[in-house]
Structure 1
Amino acid sequence: MKIFSAFLATETNTSGVVPTGSVDFEARGFFRGDASLRNPSGFGASHALLRQLAAADGHTIVESLTAHAQPSGITLRSVYEQYRDWILEDLKAAMPLQGVILIMHGAMVAEGYDDCEGDTIQKVRDLVGPGVPIGVELDLHCHFSEQMRTQADVVIAYKEYPHTDTMERLEELYRLVVRQAEGSIRPVTAVHDLRMIGLWHTTQEPMRSFVDRMQSLEGKDGILSVSLGHGFPWGDTPDTGAKLWVVADSELAGAQALADQLGREFWELRHQTWQPPLSIAATIEEIRRAPEGPIVLADVADNPGGGAMSDSTFILQGLLEAGVHDAVLGVYWDLGAVSLCQSAGVGARLKLRIGGKCGPKSGDPVDLQVTVKAIVPDHFNHGLGFRWSFGTGVWVQTDQGMDIALCTSRGQVLSCEAFENLGIPLAGRKVIVVKSTQHFHAAFAPMARQVLYVGAPGSITQNFAEMSFTRRDNRFWPRVEDPRR
């Protein structure tokens, strides 16, 4: 059996100030046909897993594009079309095929395309015809569209937030595509639109139990897969919002009944599954009350993983004004500050202007007297199954002992490596501030005495009740208490 695979993904913040271009994809490593060999610990890990699974079954993977960009603004039309067309060229060359696996995000928007994934899947379907199974893996922060549902045979989203199950879901997808190609199943998909906008942490109850319940239904009574697409609130598209879908073997009515049942159950949990972030003032009070740390603060509105610039200074300013200096903060995207530190060299003491470079949502720059403690040309951290580069990383320390991590390539804090690879010690610290919304949790929660989500100003605010969209209607919870009326 010959199976084609391709990986094209980014998450689009449609109000992002910086468009996503080819340079952004190339910064993460761009490969055509050999990512599994050249980048097996990076984004090539997905193709490497598929090759391993296929080899064990006596099948062959034909590997195409691997391209991933850090979330940012709308992708340039020419870039998306070129990457899509390269996938299609490789697909034509590989035919005939018995299956197709597409690894995507689900919230990629380009100029002229609200649904890049749906467009790509449609064009793949046009080439391979109705008899070849198409399987798609999505991030759970996806805009699940009708085009995706009708043109793909199996669509599976991650179940966990943070996304600790990317490879497990890919293996699940592979197994279902193979089973369909062998003729042992005939997948059909039913969807329930939850009419909700929000974020739901699967590390907390009752979300933890809801995800476990979804998973417990799979493999029984013809149910092949259950996915909850949380949606990406900062992407304005006609399909933005949470949706739940069920993939079943042949029985569409049964799939729809289960999707609707689970959708109603999730709706009933809406007031229990969401807690708004704390203000900076309330966070400072929590820090003062805590006898010791570490207290991990998530700077949720400046998460580069959601398209933010990762240079806002609001929490830094709050800590300084409160006299909280036993703190580690990062990772700030600041090309100018890094360049000055490189010029000065390790050990140099200088006055450095940090952050606040990208507009009002970044706050004001902060001037600090610092010592350059380390410069790391290839700074990185691991998470979500991949290796993520920060470009050049720099550790600076204030005269009062506050440690700040800087970088030249925007990246979300996913693991302790974001600080420790620069030499910044975390043990015994009072406060650790991470520019991340939730993906930090898997690595930092075990070491934290307390985890606080901080609602500082920023470009990915979590004030969902006041959000307004132009590409979809504005009848959604929590903006409207009962959007179905």
Structure 2
Amino acid sequence: MRLFTAVLATETNTFSPICIDIRAFEASLYATPGQHPATPTLCSAPLTVGRRVARERGWDLIEGTAAWADPAGLINRKTYETLRDEILDQLTAALPVNGVVLGLHGAMVADGYEDPEGDLLARIRDMVGPDVLVCASLDPHSHLTEKRVKSTDFLVAFKEFPHSDFVDRAEDLWRIAIETLEGRVRPSMSVFDCRMIDVFPTSREPMRSFVDQMFEIEATDPDILSLSVIHGFMAGDVPEMGTKVLAVTNNQPDKGDRLARDLGLELFAKRGTFMAPQMDEKSAVTKALASETGPVVIADVWDNPGGGTAGDATILLRELLDRGVTDAAVGTIWDPVAVQICMAAGEGATIPLRFGAKSAPGTGNPVDGRVEIIRLVRDAQMRFGESLVPFGDSAHIRLSGIDIILNSTRAQGFDPSLFSVMGIDPASRKILVIKSTNHFHAAFSKIASDILYCAAGTPYPNDPAKTDYRRAPENIWPRVADPHGQGIS
């Protein structure tokens, strides 16, 4: 067998002011053929798992480019076309192949392309023809378009949010690919559009039980090769945005259709109950201070760089400063200019510094003060499961007794190593402020005495009923109360 693999991934918040060019990929991951490290990133696990599969089975695996940029706004058209054509040229050189196995995200939007993944997959299908296997993994915060389904044999999405299972789902992707290539199964995809957009953390009910139910069905029904919930991405203003259920069966399309519909309607019936309750910054700090033990983690859920925002909002930090809190650490505030100034001043220096809240309205105001520079780290990284996530040149500063991490590469807070790599013992602080919606939960829950979800400011369009969409479908909840009651099925 001769297989081709490549990775092209990012998540596009079409409301974000931060546009992406090739430098964003180079800052996060840009690996030419054969240069991808042994450790996978979130969307590149199909490549690293594929190396092992090919080695064990004596297959030929031809690696293309692997490119991942941290979520942000619209991708520069030339950047997308250059990366796309780079991968297509590599595939052309590799032909003939028995299969193409890709790592994608699924919420990419580029200037001139509302569905870049669909564009890439359709071009690959045209190149290899109808009889060559084409499959890919997806992040559930994606858009499952008709073009993508039409161009692939099957797709597999992460089940967990936080996405702690990205390697496991790459294993599923390759398992089904092997069985297909060896003639033991014939994948068929069934999709049900739930006509809704919501947030589905699997660290709490009711989504925890729903995902466990999917695992149980996969384990007990030999006809079911894979089940996925495409959560959708509410900050992606595209025509096919929304939550969908994907069932991959062994050539049982009618059964897949029924199962996808049943699961999809079950999700729809629970709409609006999945997300953890949120509080404002004043309530969050008050509750954290009242706790007898620490650390209390306050998640700044809507200034989440993992959702494409800048990660430079200062509203929670301002509340801590105004309340005279000292036993706290904040990670991170994105400000490359402030980091550069700190790097020039050096560790141990005390300097006047203005930082934060430069990207957009609704993020608070820049913070001014004399700060002590505690630690400087070039090319800092934190852990996320089996992967390492860069957050760039970073500075640990102290202002009025609060430890603050300034970073130059936007990244949400995944793991307590975010703090420890900057010289802060996270377990020793009363309050930890991080910018993340839920990916932090798997790691931080192990050290937190409590976790508070805080909605501070408006850096992210988090209410679909009020968001100024221009391209997204009108007939989904909560934009309408009951889309299925309108005869949509």
Q: CA deviation at 1:480?
A: 2.5
Answer whether contact 2:45 2:166 (CA < 8 A) is retained: no
Per the alignment, residue 67 of structure 1 pairs with 67
Per the alignment, residue 32 of structure 1 pairs with 32
- CA spacing shift, 1:480–1:282, aligned 2, 3 Å: farther
**Counterpart Cα distance in 1 of 2:294 and 2:155:** 42
Per the alignment, residue 435 of structure 1 pairs with 435
What is the RMSD of the two structures over their aligned residues, measured on CA atoms?
1.5
> How is 1:37-48 mapped onto 2 (pairs within 5 angstroms)?
39-41=37-39, 43=41, 46-48=46-48
468-477 vs 241-250, greater mean Cα deviation:
468-477
Q: CA deviation at 1:247?
A: 0.5
Q: Partner of 1:79: helix, strand, or coil?
A: helix
The superposition leaves residues 200-253 of structure 1 with CA deviations (integer Å, 9 ceiling, x where unpaired) of 110101111100101111151411100001011101001111111101111111
Answer whether contact 1:455 1:461 (CA < 8 A) is retained: no
Answer whether contact 1:6 1:66 (CA < 8 A) is retained: yes
The superposition leaves residues 316-364 of structure 1 with CA deviations (integer Å, 9 ceiling, x where unpaired) of 1111222222110011111222122222211112222121122323321
Per the alignment, residue 187 of structure 1 pairs with 187
Q: Partner of 1:35: helix, strand, or coil?
A: coil
Per the alignment, residue 334 of structure 1 pairs with 335
Answer whether contact 1:35 1:47 (CA < 8 A) is retained: no
Answer whether contact 1:99 1:178 (CA < 8 A) is retained: no
Q: CA deviation at 1:276?
A: 4.3
Answer whether contact 1:231 1:243 (CA < 8 A) is retained: yes
Gaps of 5+ in 2: none
Per the alignment, residue 155 of structure 2 pairs with 155
Q: Partner of 1:382: helix, strand, or coil?
A: strand
Identity %: 39
**Counterpart Cα distance in 2 of 1:453 and 1:338:** 28
Answer whether contact 2:5 2:62 (CA < 8 A) is retained: yes
The superposition leaves residues 96-131 of structure 1 with CA deviations (integer Å, 9 ceiling, x where unpaired) of 111110100000011111111111111100011111
Per the alignment, residue 372 of structure 2 pairs with 371
Per the alignment, residue 90 of structure 1 pairs with 90
**Counterpart Cα distance in 1 of 2:458 and 2:94:** 45
Per the alignment, residue 199 of structure 1 pairs with 199
Answer whether contact 1:467 1:479 (CA < 8 A) is retained: no
Answer whether contact 1:374 1:423 (CA < 8 A) is retained: yes
Q: CA deviation at 1:384?
A: 5.0
**Counterpart Cα distance in 1 of 2:303 and 2:386:** 22
Answer whether contact 1:351 1:370 (CA < 8 A) is retained: yes
2:47 maps to amino acid? H
Q: Partner of 1:361: helix, strand, or coil?
A: coil
**Counterpart Cα distance in 2 of 1:170 and 1:302:** 29
Matched, 1:382 2:383: yes
Q: CA deviation at 1:406?
A: 0.8
Q: CA deviation at 1:163?
A: 0.5
Per the alignment, residue 305 of structure 2 pairs with 304
Q: Partner of 2:302: helix, strand, or coil?
A: helix
Q: Partner of 1:332: helix, strand, or coil?
A: strand
**Counterpart Cα distance in 2 of 1:57 and 1:257:** 36
Q: Partner of 2:382: helix, strand, or coil?
A: strand
2:323 maps to amino acid? A
Q: CA deviation at 1:380?
A: 0.9
Calculate the TM-score normalised by the size of structure 1.
0.96
1:254 maps to amino acid? K
Per the alignment, residue 102 of structure 2 pairs with 102
> How is 1:192-341 mapped onto 2 (pairs within 5 angstroms)?
192-219=192-219, 220-341=221-342
Q: CA deviation at 1:171?
A: 1.1
Matched, 1:114 2:114: yes
> How is 1:129-168 mapped onto 2 (pairs within 5 angstroms)?
129-168=129-168
1:25 maps to amino acid? F
Matched, 1:470 2:462: no
1:262 maps to amino acid? L
**Counterpart Cα distance in 2 of 1:23 and 1:42:** 20
Gaps of 5+ in 1: none
Q: CA deviation at 1:179?
A: 1.3
Q: Partner of 2:255: helix, strand, or coil?
A: helix
Answer whether contact 1:276 1:462 (CA < 8 A) is retained: no
Q: Partner of 2:379: helix, strand, or coil?
A: strand
Q: CA deviation at 1:423?
A: 0.4
Q: CA deviation at 1:437?
A: 1.3
Per the alignment, residue 13 of structure 1 pairs with 13
2:62 maps to amino acid? V
Answer whether contact 2:373 2:396 (CA < 8 A) is retained: yes
**Counterpart Cα distance in 2 of 1:416 and 1:21:** 30
Q: CA deviation at 1:46?
A: 4.3
State the aligned residue count. Answer: 482
1:396 maps to amino acid? I
Answer whether contact 2:301 2:453 (CA < 8 A) is retained: yes
**Counterpart Cα distance in 2 of 1:228 and 1:70:** 22
Q: CA deviation at 1:181?
A: 1.4
